[in-house]
Amino acid sequence: MNRVGEHTQLAAVPNDELRMKDLRNVAPPDSALTAPPLRTRGTEREPSEEEDVEGEDVTAPVELLMEFLGAAVDRDYQLASTLCRMILVYEPDNPEASEFLPLIQRKLLEGESLSVS
């Protein structure tokens, strides 16, 4: 007998071991040991606003940024200052807002000094 034949004979399993057991008569597992049912799509709990903020960087709304730029271009320094501060509430490290705020404040002060004179 060649090697393949010997290996096949050693690996052969009697048919009795391959037969399926009748599972209809098996008792169900103890309910205390079973896992809770899995959630299906759409039943997950939505994260709260606070949880949502913790996981991601907060950025200023695009509309706010656009209004700020429009106010700066229109030289409406009072509105630009307010909007710039709002951007900094959302993004304290926003480089553009951080640079523009002192410039806008200086323009506001210059405007006040011109109106007083």
For residue 99, tell me if it sits in a domain.
Answer: yes
Integer Cα distance of 56 and 52 in angstroms? 7
Host domain of residue 84? 56-116
pLDDT in tens, 75-95: 999 999 999 999 999 999 999
Torsional class of 90: left (φ above 0), alpha (ψ -120 to 50), beta (otherwise): alpha
37 located within any domain: no
Q: Is the pTM value of this prediction over 0.85?
A: no
DSSP state of 26: S
* Percent helix, percent strand, percent coil in the chain, to nearest 5: 65, 0, 35
In a domain, 73, yes or no: yes
Tell whether 17 is covered by a domain.
no
Is residue 64 domain-resident?
yes
Pair of tokens at residue 65? 């940024």
Has residue 59 got a pLDDT over 60? yes
What letter does residue 7 receive in the DSSP assignment?
H
- Give the N- to C-terminal CA distance of the chain in Å, as an integer: 116
Does residue 50 form part of some domain? no
How far CA 95 is from CA of 91, 100, 102, in Å, comes to: 9, 9, 12
Domain count, the chain: 1
Is position 40 within any domain?
A: no
The SS3 of residue 12 is coil
Find out whether 103 and 73 touch, Cβ atoms under 8 Å. Answer: no
pLDDT range class, residue 72, cuts 50, 70, 90: very high
Torsion sign across C-alpha atoms 70, 72, 74, 78: positive
